[in-house]
Amino acid sequence: MILKDSKHFTALINGLLPYMILKSLHVYFKDSWYIGINKGFDRLSSGKMITDLPVLSTPIYIHEIPVVGESFVHQLSWDFNQILKELLPHQIQLPLNTTIEILYSKENTSSKVVLQNPAFKIELITGMLSGGAGLHQKGLLHDVLFERYSLQDQQRSLSQFLHYDAAGHLIADFNYPEYDMDEFDTYLHYYNSLKELLEYNWDFDAKRKEYATKEILIIDDKLNELLEILKSNTAHPQN
């Protein structure tokens, strides 16, 4: 696939983003929607919650999720459903009697994943903040490029890199639990599980803190440059 310009790139990511998010969720919810999440050793694991309450599910493959509106990815010549079948082979388990759909805005700059149940409605809304040529200002390489390299190299990066910046909102409405507090608690737990998984997989600022600081990256780049000079002098010793 050839993207002619940054406009096509941002349109592609806008269209793919709901599926990218669902991909990061579908393995966790492949066996049950009512899960426990454990953190440790820089990784996340999950499993079914132990409960005496019946936990019934509505399973669905991600390629079967109804789509409202059109996006760039659905207009391309590829067989997008077949790609989803191959990349996302597991059904995602939803609470019983829950429907799910993906909605695209007319401008194709935002999308929603909507989970609708008689007892609740959960919306995951994503929208583009910026996108285009060059490195993102929060990216790992951005500071190194602009601290250490020439204006010519900085200008050249505009044709070598593309960036995309988006924001997301998770919103839930629950019916007031007049009769079944246990049911309300399980659905609230489901919402909190979604929230925790989204933060773990998609919070850029949190992920950025796991990597080296700007100062360390610049020092590392300087050391790599010195090593290259030393290798070159060793391979071609001066008489």
Q: Tens digit of pLDDT for each residue in 9-52?
A: 888 889 999 999 999 999 999 999 999 998 876 678 888 998 88
Are the beta carbons of 73 and 16 closer than 8 angstroms? yes
Other Cβ atoms within 10 Å of 221 Cβ, number: 17
pLDDT at residue 1, rounded to an integer? 44
User: What are the structural domain ranges in the chain?
Assistant: 6-129+163-203
- pLDDT of 2: 43
**237 three-class SS:** coil
**Which pLDDT does position 216 carry in this prediction?**
67
Tokens coding 41: 């050793």
pLDDT at 218: 66
> Please, is 19 exposed, middle or buried when counting C-beta atoms within 10 Å of its C-beta (0-12, 13-18, 19+)?
buried
The pLDDT value given to residue 234:
74
Structure tokens that stand for 158 in this block? 């505009």
pLDDT given at position 132: 75
Q: Which residues contact 15 (CB under 8 A, 6 or more apart)?
A: 71, 72, 73, 74, 104, 108, 111
Contact 130, 165 (CB under 8 A): yes
**Pairwise CA distance, residues 178 & 180, whole Å:** 6
Per-residue model confidence as pLDDT tens for the chain (239 residues): 444 456 788 888 899 999 999 999 999 999 999 999 988 766 788 889 988 878 999 999 999 999 999 888 888 888 999 999 999 999 999 999 999 999 998 877 889 999 999 999 999 999 888 887 777 777 767 666 666 666 676 677 677 778 888 899 999 999 877 767 888 899 999 999 999 999 988 887 877 777 767 666 666 666 777 777 777 777 666 65
> Do the Cβ atoms of 33 and 55 come closer than 8 Å?
yes
pLDDT digits (tens, 9 = 90+) for 162-176: 888 889 999 999 987
Question: Dihedral through CA 195, CA 108, CA 101, CA 93, nearest 10?
Answer: -40
Question: Residues 131, 136, 157, 111: what is their CA dihedral angle, to the nearest 10 degrees?
Answer: -20
Sort residue 213 into left (φ over 0), alpha (ψ -120 to 50) or beta.
beta
pLDDT value of position 194 = 96
